[in-house]
C-alpha cells in the first residue's frame, strides 16, 4: 500500500472498533436486563412472538388472581355455613331432650327454650354479618331468582347458564309418592304383656304393653316415639296399623316381636314420585326432586301439583333487575364464566312449608319447645339437612370448578413462561463468552490503531 496521509488502514480499524464497541454495548445491555430482546431491531419476529406470549400471560395471571379471590370468598361462605350447622345440631339436641318432657320440670323446659332463642338469634346474626369485600353472602342477594312453579314448594336454583337469557323448566308430575304402610300390626287387644320394636327412617323404638292394653293406648305409645322413629300409628276397623311420616323408598316401617304375643312382624317401604323436567327423568326422594341439565341445577318439593299435572319454573338470567346468582370468571375468556346460587339461610327460610320454618321454634312460635318439641326437632333436622346440602354444593363448586380451573391456569402459565424464556431470556454463558470475545477484539483493534497511526509520523520524517 502506498505511503500517504490518507491512512485507509486507520479508517478500517476505526470502523471495526466501532462495530465491536456496539456489539459489546448490546451484550452488556442484554446481561444487565436479562432480556435478549430490548429493541425491535434486536429480533423483530421474536418481539412479535414475545408480545403475544406476554398478552396471554397477562390474561392467565388475571384468571389465577380471580380464582384465588373466588376461592377465598367461597371459603368464607363455607366457614359461616359450618358454624350455622353447629348451631342447628345444638338446637336439635335440645329439642330432642325436651321431647322427653316427663323427666323435665317446667323451669328446665323454659331454660332449654331460652337456649333455642339464643341459637336462632345467633344464626340470623351470622347470616346478616357474613360478607366478602362489602358484599353480603348469605342473605339471599346472591340467590338465583326463579318465578312460576305453581304447586311446587321450596324451589332452589343452584346454578344456571351465565348471561341474561332466562331458562324454562317444565315439570311433569307423572306418579305420586307414597308412604310406607304396615297393616294389621295388631288385630285386637293383646291378652298378654308384649314387647316389640318399631323401626323407621330415623331409628328404632322399643314399645312395651301391659296385658289387655287398649289399641288406642298402644297407638299413642308408638306416636310418642315419632320423632325417634319417623313412624306413626293409627286405628282402622279395630286394627292397629303403622306408616312412615315421610314418603319415598328411603322411608320404611318395620315391626318385630321381642316377647309376648300379639304384634305381627311387618315390613314395608314407600315409593318415590315420578317426575320429569323438560322430558328428562329427575332424581326423586319421596316428593323431593333434584334436576341438573342444560346448564341448570335446581331442587324443589312436590306440593299441591296433582298427579298428571305440570308446572313451569323460570330461571331468571341477569338483566335490568340485577344479577341473578353469583357469576365467576374461571378462565381467560367469556366462555369460562359460571353462575351459582347462594340461597338465603335466615331462620325464616330454613325448614319446609309443611312442617314449618326454624323461626317458629322461638318463644311463642308454633313449634316452640313449650308447644311442640317433637315438631321442633323435626324442623331443626330438616334445616340441618338444607345447610349441609348448600355447603356440599358450594364445596363441590369450589373443589371441582374453581380449584381445578386454578390448577389448569397454573399449568398454562408454566408452559407460557417456558416459551417466553426461550424467546427473550439471555443465555448468560453465551453472553459472557461473547463479551470476552468483544473485549479481546477491542484491545486488539486499539493496539493495531496505534500502529496504524505511526504511518502518519513516517510521512513527516520524509519531509525533514
Mean pLDDT taken over the chain? 88
Q: What is the pLDDT of residue 373?
A: 86
Residues 212, 216, 220: CA angle, nearest 5 degrees: 115
Considering only residues 94 and 457, tell me which one the structure prediction assigns the higher pLDDT. 94
Considering only residues 409 and 212, tell me which one the structure prediction assigns the higher pLDDT. 409
Beta strands in 215-264 (DSSP E): 231-236, 239-247, 252-259
Grouping H, G, I as helix, E, B as strand and the rest as coil, residue 316 is coil
pLDDT over 80 at 9, yes or no? no
Where does the pLDDT of residue 463 fall: very low under 50, low under 70, confident under 90, or very high at 90 and above?
low
Q: What is the pLDDT of residue 99?
A: 78
Q: What is the pLDDT of residue 188?
A: 55
Mean pLDDT of all residues in 231-248: 90
Where does the pLDDT of residue 375 fall: very low under 50, low under 70, confident under 90, or very high at 90 and above?
confident
Q: What share of the chain has pLDDT > 70, as a percent?
A: 92
Mean pLDDT of all residues in 302-329: 89
Query: Tens of pLDDT along 43-73?
Result: 788 888 888 998 999 999 999 999 999 999 9
- Range of lowest pLDDT (85-99, 198-212, 410-424, 447-461): 447-461
Where does the pLDDT of residue 314 fall: very low under 50, low under 70, confident under 90, or very high at 90 and above?
very high
Mean pLDDT of all residues in 438-447: 80
Considering only residues 271 and 185, tell me which one the structure prediction assigns the higher pLDDT. 271
Q: What is the pLDDT of residue 282?
A: 96
Residues 288, 303: Cα–Cα separation, whole Å: 9
pTM reported for the whole predicted model? 0.82
Q: What is the pLDDT of residue 455?
A: 66
Where does the pLDDT of residue 102 fall: very low under 50, low under 70, confident under 90, or very high at 90 and above?
low
Query: Tens of pLDDT along 257-287?
Result: 888 876 678 889 999 999 999 999 999 999 9
pLDDT over 60 at 181, yes or no? yes
- Range of lowest pLDDT (161-165, 242-246, 274-278, 458-462): 458-462
Residues 419, 244: Cα–Cα separation, whole Å: 65
pLDDT over 70 at 464, yes or no? no
Scanning the structure block, which residue is given the C-alpha cell 312412615? 244
Where does the pLDDT of residue 397 fall: very low under 50, low under 70, confident under 90, or very high at 90 and above?
very high
- Range of lowest pLDDT (118-122, 241-245, 330-334): 330-334
Half-sphere exposure of 297 (CA within 13 A, CB side): 15
Strands 356-357 and 337-340: unpaired
pLDDT over 60 at 1, yes or no? no
Decide if 53 contacts 423 (C-beta within 8 A): yes
Mean pLDDT of all residues in 6-29: 77
Q: What is the dihedral of CA 169, 347, 80, 287, to 10 degrees?
A: -40
Q: What is the pLDDT of residue 261?
A: 74
Residues 454, 446: Cα–Cα separation, whole Å: 13
Residues 42, 54: Cα–Cα separation, whole Å: 17
Beta strands in 353-408 (DSSP E): 356-357
Q: What is the pLDDT of residue 266?
A: 87
pLDDT over 70 at 197, yes or no? yes
Decide if 385 contacts 201 (C-beta within 8 A): no
Q: What share of the chain has pLDDT > 90, as a percent?
A: 57
Q: Which residues contact 275 (CB under 8 A, 6 or more apart)?
A: 171, 172, 173, 174, 281, 282, 284, 289, 302
Amino acid at each position: 500500500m502506498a505511503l500517504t496521509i490518507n491512512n485507509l488502514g486507520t479508517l478500517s480499524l476505526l470502523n471495526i472498533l466501532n462495530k465491536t464497541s456496539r456489539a459489546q454495548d448490546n451484550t452488556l445491555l442484554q446481561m444487565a436486563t436479562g432480556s435478549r430482546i430490548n429493541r425491535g431491531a434486536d429480533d423483530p419476529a421474536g418481539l412479535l412472538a414475545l408480545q403475544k406470549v406476554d398478552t396471554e400471560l397477562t390474561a392467565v395471571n388475571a384468571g389465577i388472581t380471580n380464582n384465588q379471590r373466588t376461592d377465598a370468598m367461597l371459603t368464607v361462605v363455607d366457614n359461616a355455613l359450618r358454624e350455622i350447622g353447629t348451631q342447628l345440631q345444638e338446637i336439635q339436641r335440645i329439642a330432642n331432650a325436651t321431647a322427653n318432657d316427663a323427666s323435665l320440670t317446667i323451669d328446665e323446659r323454659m331454660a332449654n327454650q331460652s337456649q333455642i332463642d339464643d341459637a336462632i338469634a345467633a344464626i340470623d346474626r351470622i347470616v346478616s354479618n357474613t360478607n366478602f369485600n362489602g358484599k353480603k353472602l348469605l342473605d339471599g342477594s346472591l340467590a338465583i331468582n326463579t318465578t312460576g312453579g305453581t304447586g311446587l314448594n321450596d324451589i332452589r336454583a343452584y346454578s344456571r347458564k351465565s348471561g341474561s337469557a332466562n331458562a324454562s323448566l317444565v315439570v311433569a308430575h307423572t306418579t305420586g309418592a307414597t308412604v310406607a304402610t304396615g297393616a294389621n300390626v295388631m288385630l285386637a287387644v293383646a291378652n298378654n304383656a308384649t314387647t316389640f320394636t318399631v323401626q323407621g327412617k330415623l331409628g328404632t323404638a322399643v314399645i312395651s304393653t301391659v296385658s289387655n292394653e287398649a289399641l288406642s293406648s298402644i297407638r299413642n305409645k308408638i306416636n310418642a316415639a315419632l320423632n325417634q322413629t319417623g313412624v306413626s300409628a293409627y286405628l282402622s276397623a279395630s286394627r292397629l296399623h303403622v306408616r312412615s311420616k315421610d314418603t319415598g323408598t328411603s322411608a320404611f316401617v318395620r315391626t318385630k316381636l321381642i316377647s309376648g304375643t300379639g304384634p305381627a312382624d311387618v315390613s314395608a317401604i314407600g315409593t318415590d314420585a315420578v317426575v320429569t323436567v323438560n322430558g328428562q327423568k329427575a332424581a326423586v326422594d319421596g316428593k323431593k326432586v333434584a334436576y341438573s341439565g342444560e346448564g341448570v341445577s335446581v331442587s324443589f318439593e312436590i306440593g299441591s301439583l296433582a298427579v298428571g299435572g305440570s308446572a313451569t319454573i323460570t330461571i331468571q338470567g341477569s338483566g335490568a333487575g340485577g344479577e341473578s346468582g353469583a357469576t365467576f370468571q374461571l378462565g381467560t375468556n367469556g366462555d369460562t364464566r359460571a353462575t351459582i346460587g347462594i340461597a338465603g339461610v335466615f331462620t325464616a327460610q330454613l325448614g319446609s312449608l309443611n312442617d314449618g320454618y326454624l323461626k317458629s321454634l322461638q318463644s311463642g312460635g308454633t313449634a316452640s319447645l313449650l308447644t311442640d318439641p317433637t315438631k321442633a326437632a323435626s324442623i331443626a333436622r330438616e334445616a340441618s339437612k338444607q345447610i349441609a346440602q348448600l355447603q356440599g354444593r358450594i364445596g363441590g363448586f369450589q373443589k371441582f370448578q374453581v380449584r381445578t380451573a386454578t390448577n389448569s391456569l397454573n399449568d398454562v402459565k408454566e408452559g407460557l413462561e417456558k416459551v417466553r424464556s426461550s424467546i427473550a431470556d439471555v443465555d448468560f454463558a453465551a453472553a459472557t463468552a461473547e463479551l470476552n470475545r468483544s473485549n479481546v477484539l477491542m484491545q486488539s483493534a486499539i493496539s493495531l490503531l496505534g500502529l496504524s497511526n505511526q504511518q502518519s509520523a513516517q510521512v513527516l520524517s520524509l519531509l525533514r
